[in-house]
A = this chain, B = another copy of it.
Amino acid sequence: MLALEDLTEMLKGILEGCVLEIISRKETYGYEIVKKLNSLGFEDVVEGTVYTILLRLEKNKLVNIQKKPSKIGPPRKFYTLNEAGRNQLQTFWRKWDFIASKINELKENKDGN
């Protein structure tokens, strides 16, 4: 993997949406979400970052939470999206599609309009 520089600033407002999307797929928990993001390509995303997002989602009442024991470590907090969470996820993708299309428009428009 080519060493790409810091993506921190560009992930703002995007990481939370990614977490929502991952949770929407199947009931999951923080540690697993971190691994998922890492394997997706966001290798520098660490636990502290994801846990703050998860606590924010909880505070904003976008998720349901269920604690379950694990056989290989401490208990896990499993997250699922509630109705508000699914709405938020939809909103995220609408924003993403909008921004991505506009940015690509700017990028391709090399002639300069």
A90 CB to nearest chain B CB (Å): 12
- List the B side residues contacting A21 at CB < 8 Å: 106-107
> Interface residues of A: mostly helix, strand, loop or mixed?
helix
Interface segment, A3-11, A46-54, A58-66, A71-79? A3-11
Q: Assess whether A25 is interfacial by the CB under 8 Å rule.
A: yes
Contact B102 A4 (CB under 8 A): no
- List the B side residues contacting A5 at CB < 8 Å: 91, 95
Contact B26 A98 (CB under 8 A): no
Q: Assess whether A12 is interfacial by the CB under 8 Å rule.
A: yes
Q: Bound state CA distance, A95 and B93, in angstroms?
A: 19
Q: Assess whether A69 is interfacial by the CB under 8 Å rule.
A: no
